[in-house]
Amino acid sequence: MEYIPNILFLILLIAGAGFFIRNSKKIIRNIKIGHKVNASDHKKERWNNVIRIALGQSKMVARPLAGILHIIVYVGFIIINIEVLEIIIDGLFGTHRIFSGLGSIYGFLIASFEILAVLVLVSVSIFWLRRMVKRIPRFWSKEMTKWPKNDALYILYFEMVLMSLFLLMNATDTHFQNMGSGNIISQFIAPLFSSLGEGTLHLIERSAWWIHIIGIFIFLNYLYYSKHLHILLAFPNVYYGSVEAKGKFKNLESVTNEVKLMMDPNVDPFAAPPEGAEVPAKFGASDVLDLNRTQLLNAYTCTECGRCTSNCPANQTGKKLSPRKIMMDTRDRLEEIGKNINANGEFKPDNKQLLDDYITREELWACTTCNACVEACPVSIDPLSIIMDMRQYLVMEQSAAPNELNISMTNIENNGAPWPYNQMDRLNWKDE
């Protein structure tokens, strides 16, 4: 009978980790729906970016208050997780505070966890106030429908509860309090429970311990359903992010081949394609299947902070475009396709696509390609690349550019300028 808690813990651990692994595999499978990307170049720069942007949170502090608070929560999250290691060992082997044998180091560690826990609690509360009381517009814009709003709140509540449980667990742990070191914060909470008997205290301590670790397992598995995935995906996402100048848009290789053929005077224009030649790929993207893996990883990484949208000139002037919505739509469509695959074993066409069913043409044509969204993203997401791929589809597959644009393009084709001036007049300014 005395092993029941250990067995129970083991089952919880396996279930928690198992579910998490299962869902992670789904995410990886979904991302792999996209075209392969080659990120074997610029290795040093990529790792530098991971260290600077992801680990170092360098872009978060562009907005100092949110940035610093975020760093506190982030550091707290990472460091307090050392404690989770102890909890897991204790849980599995029925020990109590196995690391406490470390003596003063243990005291120091737990003391820093306690301080961080308080800092996290304060930061998360300020986050809540910014959302719910100050009502910062980017948290209330159109694409922030019921679920995205609730999702954000659930995450904050989770963190509040977990941190409180951690402090409660320490405060009601008589053995730990008697050690007299490390209880830098919890010593002030302990007196609240001084009237309780040892048995009750122990019960509270055990309950806090169990709820805390169960909470962590639930939170771990909540990630998959939430925007909060960024805590894991930010790192690979930054690694795969662009290392080129932001103004460099990728050249479509399939187009290059065709243009080269067109410009080669030796090519027979009427030649039939060679036997077994590949059918030319679709130009641009109308669905997530046409995007690449980095773009799909981007979609899962987006934590809907809205910095991109609040920096977008089109969005600020009341246009429908919101770079955050582009990312959310991409993820939602990808999830839909993922569920389709789960149900059917493979993707069964569902008469839907990213274009029109999720992202409207009006949004796509409102973009000025100014890169403000790309610059603003703290985790190197590139909404602009998706907008561009979808524009390419509209123009090259559907000839569906706005009419004025078609006129400009015809001008470029005919006279080498977007306006109807003769190329032979190009130097007239010299004598004017």
Residues of the shown chain interacting with other proteins in the complex, contacts defined by CB under 8 A: 62, 244-249, 251-252, 255-256, 258-260, 262-263, 283-284, 311, 313-314, 316-321, 362, 365-372, 374-375, 388, 390-396, 401-402, 404-405, 407-409, 412-413, 416-419, 421, 423-430, 432
Picking from 201, 151, 143, 200, the residue whose alpha carbon sits closest to that of residue 175 is 201
Nearer to other proteins, 302 or 374 (CB): 374
Minimum CB separation of residue 51 from other proteins in Å reads 20
Phi and psi of 359, rounded to 5°? -105, 125
Hunting for tokens 């044509």 — which residue is that? 365
CA angle centred on 229, ends 26 and 243, rounded to 5°? 95
Radius of gyration over alpha carbons of the chain, in Å?
28
Please say which residue, 334 or 394, places its beta carbon nearer to other proteins: 394
Judged by CB, which is closer to other proteins: 333, or 391? 391
- Comparison of 51 and 412: residue with beta carbon closer to other proteins: 412
At residue 374, φ and ψ (nearest 5 deg) are -65, -45
- Shortest Cβ distance from residue 260 to other proteins (Å)? 7
Residue 239 to residue 366: CA distance in whole angstroms: 29
In angstroms, rounded to a whole number, what is the distance separating the alpha carbons of residues 389 and 372? 18
Please, what is the minimum distance in Å from the beta carbon of residue 351 to other proteins? Answer: 24
Nearest distance in Å: CB 175, other proteins? 53
If DSSP codes are grouped into helix, strand and coil, which group holds residue 10?
A: helix
Question: Judged by CB, which is closer to other proteins: 342, or 422?
Answer: 422
Nearest approach, Cβ of 60 to other proteins (angstroms)?
Answer: 15
Q: Which CB sits closer to other proteins, 139 or 365?
A: 365
Helices (H), 64-145: 64-93, 104-132
What is the closest distance, in whole angstroms, from the C-beta atom of residue 17 to other proteins in the complex? 41
Nearer to other proteins, 238 or 314 (CB): 314
- Structure-block tokens of residue 254: 């399939």
Closest CA to 127 of 303, 309, 302, 332: 303
In the complex with other proteins, the residue whose CB is nearer, 200 or 423, is: 423
Q: How far apart are CA 116 and CA 87, in angstroms?
A: 18
Minimum distance of other proteins from residue 324's CB (angstroms) = 17
**Closest separation in Å from C-beta 398 to other proteins:** 10
The upper half-sphere exposure of residue 360, i.e. CA atoms within 13 Å in the direction of its Cβ, equals 7
**254-260 long-range contacts, CB within 8 A, separation 24+:** 254/280, 254/281, 254/283, 255/283, 255/396
